[in-house]
Amino acid sequence: MEVLAFGVQSDEKPLIEKAFAGKHEVRCLDVFLTEDTAPIAAGHEIISTSVNADLGGAVLRILAAGGTRMIAQRSTGFNNIDLDTAERLGLRVARVSSYSPHSVAEFAWTLAMAVNRRIVRAVSRTRDFDFRLDGLLGRDMHGRTAGVLGTGKIGEAFTRIAHGYGMNLLGWDVAENPACTALGMTYVDKERLFAEADLISLHVPLMPATQHLIDRDALSAMKDDAILVNSSRGGLVDTTALVTELRAGRFTGVGLDVYEAEAGLFYVDKSLEGIDDDTLARLVTFPNVIVTSHQAYYTADAVGQIIDATVHNVMDHLAGRSGPNFLVPRPTA
């Protein structure tokens, strides 16, 4: 059987081919799954997709009509998948429920310190042999307050690093993580966290309740010199409201690895044609903002774990098994 993998990065391809070797054939495509590319999957029982795939109702119907019976998504997030339609069509859908939390947590800290210490500007200057320090003044994280929204595995890993810096710790989540409280974290309502935190990092899933969690009111409540980092999902932040605050000269820095309208942009080379997204185009012009293209997970360790889990999901499907990685049918207890 040949598994068809959409949206495969060049670094991923040899890892995917090695993981499937001796089990099933796999064909890797660099194109992303969309309504236009979905017909390519005709005749393939199993396809694998990336987090930016379009798995809305229209695409799912094309896949089902072409004989696809199983979708193995290579990510934890699944807000791009119409699960109700998949269930009605009899499509099995699996994701990767967990992988190295350190990859994302470490990258979130990379963004935080890059904007804090003006690393991008400094490197740009030194490449032009400009060695001045004007405008590069940062600040110690030690003794300041980190606010962590979402204290699951990734949030906990982020908190451990913050604890290592000697920071005060504030957390917000639907349930407290004992490992975080053991590090000295105080759980508070999000309004207090916004008001007191010097560094705010987002580690919650995207769902209706968290859509635009960081909205105009939340941004207004933050300190003028706060640092905001989002390495979770773009829809957590109202980007239009964020641009308004940045135009007003607020925030020491903002590090974004995700963007609410990233589909069709991230993982694609737009350098020769430009983009028609005025909000993103304005966002990247601010000197205190860093935008990266959803790469926080992108370490050899995490990608390897994602691919291994995807292979297991495929094997479980072929053996008629289910499990916690399967979103359709619903996970069994």
Residue pLDDT, tens place only, 11-43: 999 999 999 999 999 999 999 999 999 999 999
317 is catalytic: no
Mean pLDDT of 62-88: 95
Predicted local confidence at residue 77, as pLDDT? 84
In one letter, which amino acid is 243?
V
Predicted local confidence at residue 331, as pLDDT? 57
Question: Rounded to 5 degrees, what are φ and ψ at 305?
Answer: -70, -40
Mean pLDDT of 52-69: 96
**4 three-class SS:** strand
Q: What is the pLDDT of residues 299-329, one digit of tens each?
A: 999 999 999 999 999 999 999 998 899 999 8
Give all strands of the β-sheet with 70-73 in edge-to-edge order. 25-28, 2-5, 46-49, 70-73, 92-94, 326-328
Mean pLDDT computed over every residue of the chain: 95
Is the confidence at residue 330, as pLDDT, over 70? no
Is the confidence at residue 333, as pLDDT, over 50? no
One of 12, 156, 260, 262 is an active-site residue; which one? 262
203 is catalytic: no
Top pLDDT among 274 and 35 is at: 35
Give all strands of the β-sheet with 253-256 in edge-to-edge order. 186-187, 168-172, 145-149, 199-202, 227-230, 253-256, 289-291
One of 233, 245, 250, 317 is an active-site residue; which one? 233
In one letter, which amino acid is 174?
V
74 is catalytic: no
Which pTM value belongs to this model?
Answer: 0.91
Which secondary structure element, helix H or strand E, spans residue 200, and what is its range?
Answer: strand 199-202
Mean pLDDT of 100-111: 97
One of 44, 74, 203, 294 is an active-site residue; which one? 294
Nearest 10 degrees: CA dihedral of 17, 20, 22, 28? -50
